[in-house]
């Protein structure tokens, strides 16, 4: 059996301009979804530690549902299932952003919860002893410390969400993988193109990881 093959660097380089067209959509879906997911995560993360059970349970159900199901299934449900309920089509970009927002929001909720409960109870007692109300103590004392502790895991979630966008080619979003699939359909250079797709994803995630490491070394996180 002949297992030899010839890697065509020329084909790989030629695919770059076409693949680069997918990066803006990848970043738009990733960071657009993460921005919404952060707001959702804060809301449900705080609800999950609320002393009222009637408020905790909806948060726990949301978190378990979206952490326990694949993001691919979620985006397929949003794109193909919701239109049957709403009576109209959903733009694939909107569906992608919604899927990232809901999925990342569930994980961010746990990040928020974990960061808040990790703050020593003495911090709350100190705030109250200074005459602050419970809400003032939370937002002025507990929350700033919690936010610093959230930054490293939030960075990890951002990297995961960026890679999750590769699944959205199934609904026709023109992100990196979709651009690669279309290009391969005309050139048949699957090996070269998918390698370049992988390298571009790696460049994005390594850049984000590098920026996070610099931020962590600044001493502003984890205190």
Residue-wise pLDDT tens digits, 116-126? 999 888 888 78
Q: Which residues of 181-212 are buried (b: 16+ CB within 10 A; e: fewer)?
A: ebbbeeeebeebbbebbeebbeebeeebeeeb
d(CA 149, CA 140): 15
User: What is the arithmetic mean of pLDDT over 43-70?
Assistant: 93
Instruction: Give the rounded percent of residues in the chain with a pLDDT score beyond 70.
Output: 96
The pLDDT, as a whole number, for residue 5 is 64
pLDDT at 11 over 70: yes
d(CA 111, CA 41): 8
- Band of pLDDT at residue 135, cut at 50, 70 and 90: confident
36: Cα separation from own chain's centroid: 10
Residue 201's nearest CA partner among 164, 149, 172, 157 is 164
d(CA 94, CA 137): 38
φ/ψ of residue 222, rounded to 5: 75, 10
The pLDDT, as a whole number, for residue 204 is 94
Burial of residue 79 (number of CB atoms within 10 Å: 0-12, 13-18, 19+): buried
Residue-wise pLDDT tens digits, 18-36? 999 999 999 999 999 999 9
The pLDDT, as a whole number, for residue 131 is 78
Residue-wise pLDDT tens digits, 195-205? 999 999 999 99
Fold exhibited by the domain 12-217: MetI-like fold (1.10.3720)
Q: What average pLDDT does the structure give for the chain?
A: 89
Residue-wise pLDDT tens digits, 160-189? 999 999 999 999 888 899 999 999 998 888
CB 171 within 8 A of CB 92: yes
Please state whether the predicted TM-score (pTM) of the whole model is above 0.85: yes
The pLDDT, as a whole number, for residue 1 is 47
Which position has the token pair 């990890």?
Answer: 156
User: What is the arithmetic mean of pLDDT over 76-84?
Assistant: 94
């Amino acid at each position: 059996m002949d297992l030899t093959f010839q890697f065509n660097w020329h084909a790989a380089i030629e695919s770059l301009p076409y693949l680069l067209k997918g990066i803006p959509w990848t970043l738009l879906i990733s960071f657009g979804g993460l921005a919404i997911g952060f707001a959702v995560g804060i809301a449900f993360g705080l609800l999950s530690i609320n002393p009222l059970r009637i408020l905790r349970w909806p948060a726990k159900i949301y978190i378990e549902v979206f952490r326990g199901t694949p993001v691919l299934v979620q985006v397929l449900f949003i794109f193909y299932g919701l239109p049957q309920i709403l009576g109209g089509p959903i733009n694939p970009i909107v569906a992608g952003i919604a899927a990232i927002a809901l999925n990342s929001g569930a994980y961010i909720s746990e990040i928020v919860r974990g960061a808040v409960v990790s703050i020593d109870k003495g911090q709350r007692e100190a705030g109250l002893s200074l005459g602050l109300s419970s809400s003032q103590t939370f937002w002025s004392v507990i929350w700033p410390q919690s936010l610093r502790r959230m930054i490293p895991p939030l960075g990890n979630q951002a990297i995961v969400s960026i890679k999750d966008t590769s699944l959205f080619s199934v609904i026709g979003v023109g992100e990196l993988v979709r651009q690669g699939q279309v290009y391969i359909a005309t050139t048949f250079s699957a090996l070269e193109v998918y390698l370049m797709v992988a390298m571009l994803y790696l460049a994005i995630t390594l850049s984000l990881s590098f920026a996070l490491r610099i931020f962590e070394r600044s001493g502003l996180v984890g205190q």
